[in-house]
Structure 1
Amino acid sequence: MRKRTGTVVRTMLCASMLIAMGTGAATGAGRAPLQPKQLAGPATEFEAMRAPDPAHAAILSRSALLPVVFDASGQATLRVPVHHGRLDAMLLSGGADWSPRLVSPAGVELAQATLARGARASRLGGEHDGQAGTVVRLDGLVRGDWTLHLQARSGEGARGYLLLKGDDRLELASHQVHRRQLVGERMDIVAMLAADDGTRVALGRDAGHVRSAQLRIVAPDGTATLRPMHDDGRHGDGGAGDGRLAGGFVPDATGTWIAQVIVHGHDRLGTPFVRTAEHALPVIEAGPRLAAGTASAAYSSPGRLSVRLPLANAGKGAHYRVLAEVWGRDGKGGEVPVAWIGGMAEAGDGGLSLGLDERWIARAGALAPFELRALRIEDPDHFIPLATATRLPLSTPRLRLPRTAPARQAAIDELMTMGPRPAAADARAAATGRKLVLVHGYCSGGVWPQAQFANSATFLDANQNRSHDQFAQRIKSFGAQWNSFGTVAHSQGGAASLHLYAYYWSGLDNASGSRLMQSVGTPYQGTNLSGIIATVGNWFGVACGSNSNMTYSGASAWLAGIPTSARSKVNYYTTAFRTTNWYTNDYCNAASDLVLGDPEDGTVERAYAQLPGATNRGHTAGQCHTAGMRDPAQYRDSSRNATMSSNAAR
């Protein structure tokens, strides 16, 4: 069984690199009014709502995805490191026959019969978003660099990938320096080795020797270029020769760019290795910027302030995710944290407006002058910062706040944390009834057996790729048929349901029952498959395309804006493959097993399916993410489905 050391490695990375550097279907017809909530929370949540450190979302890779490019004669040769006498690999050929030949370090070719016995057809990714290929598992090989010879037939695919699983004890840790993913702005990637021998974790040059390191950049049109990664102390890589690597590029077009770190070298025992890390990076045009001046607050209703942010270049009607901290002063001029405010906000008349309940100011005992801190305005689909301010003065009207002890100790209510509910007419009061909505996941369809859920309806947006925000709005529109609804969701559907409840008013806010949102197999903290599939799909094409919300960095950025109060409404389950014995490496899917760390369900690692602040309802072994994997699909557990149905809010 593989040991996941992600928490330890990420903690060390942060320190080290900072020092160095119904029965109906969802139709989607016409966008319904957004009806965003005016979010706010206590100062104790400041840290959770701030932009995350990219090192906390580092990719920890024990695998290598190597591009295969054939020469004019249709031949390709790759060096394949073998550790502990075992080779686990996958040829992603786009369906072409590459006639593989494997030659030992001593020049002896492996018998074709042996190679054939270790090969099986598999698929990397899901039914609609994956890529077919051949998985090869061989034991009893000599340790060292083997050579893989491939021959493409005339008229067949001239490129593809080789996916290799490496030694579990050596990882490549890689992350972005920042998330300003805008056209024309430089993007940098840093990486280093991390070794775990069971007693300690070593980083950089203490983990192994890097012989070569490159940054392979694949543009949205599929054009690939190679750039060097540096360890010379002059490129934001820390000290010269310390094993920290850095490289970057400047994107010149919108779309998903792939930044793939490729590292060759030797581990501490002298065994050759190759590792890669795949960063799928959506790049967008520059958006609004903060105009000169200050933010201003004015009363919008008794006890409610509208905080206006002056913007330039904001598209009218466009909406953005906005988060900021409110600070004031005490009677002696000392700084006083008041509350964070934010949510989704629509642009109009040269600015954005956020809501602030004056009771937050009363609870903090704060006085003018006020200011906003850690302000960030992000696009709603990828959560890429478009405009930021470390500190921005906030002018306020003359406040008439009670300064008594009861005012400072008053309970926090819905109006303070989510703002006023929409008027009855705006909330589609004509809708009646209660329902449990069954939600599928990314690039999927109606997976839930509806007959196992009482008073339920199936949301269907089959085989589509939506951001969490787009997905959430479709759930909202579908659920508007009823006055109230709860959700049971699979995979990305769980994140989309949480996104809906966190940012927009909907029937979720009218539901009653013990469990408002329930999910199974949701990658709340992302999955490494997202970057791998995006890289493969850039060449071969996939039906659904890449989804940045489910990469490690994208999920981390999304979570940094989800309030604790919203997370507490989620009940979630995780599953993994069935373990048959102690000495074999079990799996749900032979292809994804090359990439994911145990335990995992074929798509999501258990460690990254956790949602801090929510209720974990348990883990089940012997169930996989979807149908077609080795164990039964996690959404077909009739016992768990009955439990979710009986406890669901509606």
Structure 2
Amino acid sequence: MATSTGRFIAVVLMMTLMMVSIMNGSEIPSSYFKNVQGPPSEFANFADPTPADASLVSDSFMMEIALQQQGDKASWQGMIPVDSLDHVAISIVGPDAKYMNLRVVNIDDVVVNELQEANIENYNQAIKAKNHVVNTWMGYDKHSSVPAKVFNFNNNDQVKTGDWIIEVSLDSQAPQAVQQKYQSKKDTSKADLMLIIYNSSPLTAHTQSINMNAVLGEKIGFITRVTDKTEAEKRERIGVKYVPKAIPAESFEHIEAEIDVQYPDGKEDIVPMHSTSFAGIQALEHQGAFSGEFVATEKGIFHFRVVVKGVVGAEMRKTLFKSAKFIDPQSPKITFMRTTQHIIAIVDKEVQLVKDGALASFTQADEMMTVNLQAKKLLPSAEPKKYKAFAEVWAVSKTDASKLVPVCYTLGMTISSDSQELGKDYVSIPLQFSMKWLSKANAMLPLTLKNIKIQDVDTSSAISELDEVSSIETHSLLIDTETKKVNHRLTEKSIVHSYINDLLMDKYAFEQVTETMLMGPRPKQLTLKARARNSNHKVILVHGYCSAGDPFTASHFQNAIVFSDPNQSRSNDKFAQMIWEVAKDLDSFAVVAHSQGGMAGVHLYTFYWSTADNIPTNANIRLLQSVGTPYGGCSAAGSIANLGKVFGAGCGSNTDLSPDGASKWLKTIPEASQKKVYYYTTQNKKDGSSCHSMMDWILYKPNDGTSEIRYTSALTSANNMGLKYGWCHTTDMNYPPQCTDPDRNAELNKYANGF
């Protein structure tokens, strides 16, 4: 039955009050941590991501400018390289962008015509009008964005290659308060505006991290290259892992690169980049590229701008630029510049895994085997601490005692404690798996763990990794059935091994893969709820990053609760915990999510028991449905974070939304979780204008104005529910917002409720 209007409002108000109470609440109890497990066939899925997974390409560059007051005029004048063949777009971004004028000083016949706010009607008109100006915005959505004014130069006779001298000035008709701000400005070096220059050029920059390390005290850096656009476009066919070949350095009269760094404390630095000097296969892959690195000396979020610039050589002018028109035909010089923007979160290296002291144990109470990994404390904050941990479990083959066989993987949230095996300078980090996996693999003790890693919960950055811990000692713990305390410990190897072999042949013999073998035992509280549940099932509508409110048309849904955490930036883990808090007293629920809300929903289901695991036995219910979720990150994350850094706009940097951070997070999501996901995507109309022309400069195409299709489909085992044209990510784009589509919402509602 549909919820009445009055009841719906009451529910929304109730949930808003609940959100206020949980913002400073405690974490999910460790008794609700899942012991995620799965078969050896998935081992490769958890391998560390490669730098190519998070690489970016760019046809544009960003630069900050500061206006200077001269008399009654506030302005900036400078030179920008233009290597475009037919289209140039110069965007002025900043709080006062709409009051800014732009003049090309050294090209007399460049003329632009003012248009009003960007929308589908005047955008199409503008394209026909050749050169034009559009007032728009840049960001994930308008309410958290920065205003922008885009000067589009489409007139082929006026678009000339060379160094453009441009002047940006405050309009004399700007409001008095705006004029006064620049007249009274004391810090003349502080950036007022950002320029973003897009070139329709055959040259593209490709940048990737040198490695995926993000730990305090270790080196971080980037590799960048200039490539032919046709070479970069091969990634569309081959995939993001393809590294395009760099144009050789000798093809340029001059080429150089640098990394502009802003540290978490606001300090800025420039790291020079040099021609790469790798050996073997890497030498071929990175020939003609530039690399730069430095040691991360602070923890927190670093902002990077990788800059590559230079002068095109004579031979390239005859080939790639043979149709170019020059400002000065007598001196046909082609300069270029490209930037890519990145954010990386650096975490403390609090512990270091060691091979000594690892101890496994089991009881007669349940089928779970516990392995206590050992790690040396490197910082006082190392204990007690919540981590995300992973290991492959191997054991001795029953048919050939000289061989190890793969058993399963174990993954999950875990809390460290003082080590009883190695003393106060060490911590134990427990992982668990069902002994039925040993039975399934026809394996016996001793255990060996491989490819072990301890990760930061909020960033999925590896804090410590270890290749192998072999021949792990195992104890059998005898539990008092009344007190639940250990009253005896069997340590004799032969007795323990014999005892577990008996258990594997009898009590824990494998028959089929069970819930406990995939997620560990249910918490007792949740088991009681599952037994007492009724048809009081709910649908939680979850918004995304920095959202002003519920993006869905709530009246399209029945039994709906609106999750509300407006104008916030949360890691996937913190976001998931907030959903858990909202849902903890429900009988059961399904998630319908937009944007990052979809990532939070998957994270919740993967790592934590919740009332979502009480879903009624109904084949029609889809537990996790999402619209426009960038599971693989968003190429614009670094650029938007850069705007937030300069202008204080938005809700703060979010590394889970960056390709770098998302690629690490994806490597912790097992196939079983992915298969619970049903995702929907949209984009602009075929052969129509983009959802957001300015965001289109920095996003892979196709996209919905925020999320790129290549990244929305990054959960390779999830259920792709199709692409729909003519719908955009959010409001104030060139087509309607995707969460208001009544047809899709009817489908989401149907399957979230199980109708």
Q: Name the TM-score, length of structure 1 as normaliser.
A: 0.89
1:637 paired to 2:655: no
**Which of 313, 323, 343 is the equivalent residue of 2:412?**
343
Deviations 1:462-508 (A, max 9, x none): 11110000000000000113111001000000010000000000011
**Which of 474, 483, 494 is the equivalent residue of 2:598?**
494
CA distance in 2, matches of 1:264, 1:616: 40
Structure-2 residue corresponding to 1:91: 92
**Deviation, structure 1 residue 246:** 0.5
Partners of 2:538 and 2:586 within 8 A in 1: yes
Q: Which moved further from structure 2: 247-256 or 70-79?
A: 70-79
Is the alpha carbon distance of 1:310 and 1:371 closer, same or farther for their aligned partners in structure 2, counting shifts above 3 Å? same
Structure-2 residue corresponding to 1:33: 29
Is the alpha carbon distance of 1:47 and 1:168 closer, same or farther for their aligned partners in structure 2, counting shifts above 3 Å? farther
**Which of 672, 681, 696 is the equivalent residue of 1:593?**
696
2:599 is paired with a residue of what secondary structure?
helix
Identity rate, percent:
29
- Which residue type is aligned with residue 41 of structure 1? G
2:516 is paired with a residue of what secondary structure?
helix
Is the alpha carbon distance of 1:649 and 1:63 closer, same or farther for their aligned partners in structure 2, counting shifts above 3 Å? farther
CA distance in 1, matches of 2:285, 2:436: 53
Partners of 2:191 and 2:646 within 8 A in 1: no
Mapping of 1:215-230 within 5 angstroms? 215-230=259-274
**Deviation, structure 1 residue 94:** 3.2
CA distance in 2, matches of 1:405, 1:353: 26
**Deviation, structure 1 residue 143:** 3.3
**Deviation, structure 1 residue 241:** 9.6
CA distance in 1, matches of 2:730, 2:704: 9
**Deviation, structure 1 residue 340:** 0.9
**Deviation, structure 1 residue 629:** 0.9
CA distance in 1, matches of 2:299, 2:113: 46
2:573 is paired with a residue of what secondary structure?
helix
Deviations 1:556-586 (A, max 9, x none): 10010001000100101000112355xxxx2
CA distance in 2, matches of 1:431, 1:347: 34
2:673 is paired with a residue of what secondary structure?
helix
**Deviation, structure 1 residue 431:** 8.2
**Which of 515, 520, 524 is the equivalent residue of 1:414?**
515
Partners of 2:112 and 2:151 within 8 A in 1: no
CA distance in 1, matches of 2:59, 2:474: 53
Q: Which moved further from structure 2: 418-427 or 66-75?
A: 66-75
**Deviation, structure 1 residue 450:** 1.6
Deviations 1:430-479 (A, max 9, x none): 88731011111110121222211111111111111100000000000001
**Deviation, structure 1 residue 244:** 1.5
**Deviation, structure 1 residue 80:** 3.3
1:358 paired to 2:441: no
Structure-2 residue corresponding to 1:603: 706
- Which residue type is aligned with residue 474 of structure 2? T
Is the alpha carbon distance of 1:234 and 1:417 closer, same or farther for their aligned partners in structure 2, counting shifts above 3 Å? closer
Is the alpha carbon distance of 1:154 and 1:238 closer, same or farther for their aligned partners in structure 2, counting shifts above 3 Å? farther
Deviations 1:336-378 (A, max 9, x none): 2111111111222332211111111222223344221111111
Mapping of 1:538-549 within 5 angstroms? 538-549=645-656
**Which of 462, 486, 490 is the equivalent residue of 1:385?**
462
Partners of 1:443 and 1:465 within 8 A in 2: yes
Which protein is bigger by CA-based radius of gyration?
Answer: 2
Structure-2 residue corresponding to 1:148: 166
CA distance in 2, matches of 1:465, 1:431: 34
CA distance in 1, matches of 2:719, 2:285: 46
Structure-1 residue corresponding to 2:644: 537
Mapping of 1:478-627 within 5 angstroms? 478-512=582-616, 513=618, 514=620, 515-580=622-687, 586-610=689-713, 611-627=715-731
Unaligned runs of 5+ in 2: 1-10, 116-130, 171-181, 236-243, 322-333, 419-426, 476-495
Partners of 2:92 and 2:150 within 8 A in 1: yes
**Deviation, structure 1 residue 179:** 2.8
CA distance in 2, matches of 1:259, 1:473: 30
Q: Which moved further from structure 2: 392-401 or 119-128?
A: 392-401
Partners of 1:364 and 1:408 within 8 A in 2: no
1:303 paired to 2:367: yes
**Which of 46, 49, 59 is the equivalent residue of 1:52?**
49
2:606 is paired with a residue of what secondary structure?
helix
Structure-2 residue corresponding to 1:248: 293
Unaligned runs of 5+ in 1: 1-21
Deviations 1:192-235 (A, max 9, x none): 23334389685112596461211111223443322211005289
Deviations 1:235-259 (A, max 9, x none): 9984899312100122332221112
Structure-2 residue corresponding to 1:329: 396
1:302 is paired with a residue of what secondary structure?
coil
Partners of 1:128 and 1:463 within 8 A in 2: no
**Deviation, structure 1 residue 178:** 2.4
**Deviation, structure 1 residue 320:** 1.0
**Deviation, structure 1 residue 596:** 1.4
Deviations 1:257-277 (A, max 9, x none): 112111113366255432211
- Which residue type is aligned with residue 438 of structure 1? L
Partners of 2:51 and 2:211 within 8 A in 1: yes
Structure-2 residue corresponding to 1:5: none
2:247 is paired with a residue of what secondary structure?
helix
- Which residue type is aligned with residue 247 of structure 2? R
Structure-2 residue corresponding to 1:133: 148
The structure richer in helix per residue is 2
Partners of 1:259 and 1:278 within 8 A in 2: yes
- Which residue type is aligned with residue 326 of structure 1? V
State the Cα RMSD in Å.
2.9
Is the alpha carbon distance of 1:396 and 1:170 closer, same or farther for their aligned partners in structure 2, counting shifts above 3 Å? farther
CA distance in 2, matches of 1:466, 1:390: 32
Q: Which moved further from structure 2: 261-270 or 384-393?
A: 261-270
Partners of 2:112 and 2:133 within 8 A in 1: no
CA distance in 2, matches of 1:185, 1:494: 32
Mapping of 1:263-342 within 5 angstroms? 263-265=308-310, 266=312, 269-270=320-321, 272-291=335-354, 293-300=356-363, 301-313=365-377, 315-330=382-397, 331-342=400-411
Q: Which moved further from structure 2: 368-377 or 40-49?
A: 368-377
**Deviation, structure 1 residue 291:** 4.7
Partners of 2:65 and 2:76 within 8 A in 1: no
Partners of 2:396 and 2:445 within 8 A in 1: yes
Q: Name the TM-score, length of structure 2 as normaliser.
A: 0.77
CA distance in 2, matches of 1:225, 1:159: 20
CA distance in 1, matches of 2:95, 2:344: 23
**Deviation, structure 1 residue 614:** 0.5
- Which residue type is aligned with residue 336 of structure 1? V
1:310 is paired with a residue of what secondary structure?
strand
Partners of 1:188 and 1:247 within 8 A in 2: yes
**Deviation, structure 1 residue 65:** 1.8
Partners of 1:381 and 1:468 within 8 A in 2: yes
1:542 is paired with a residue of what secondary structure?
coil
Deviations 1:587-632 (A, max 9, x none): 1113212211321111011111112111011111110101111100
1:441 is paired with a residue of what secondary structure?
coil
CA distance in 2, matches of 1:251, 1:75: 35
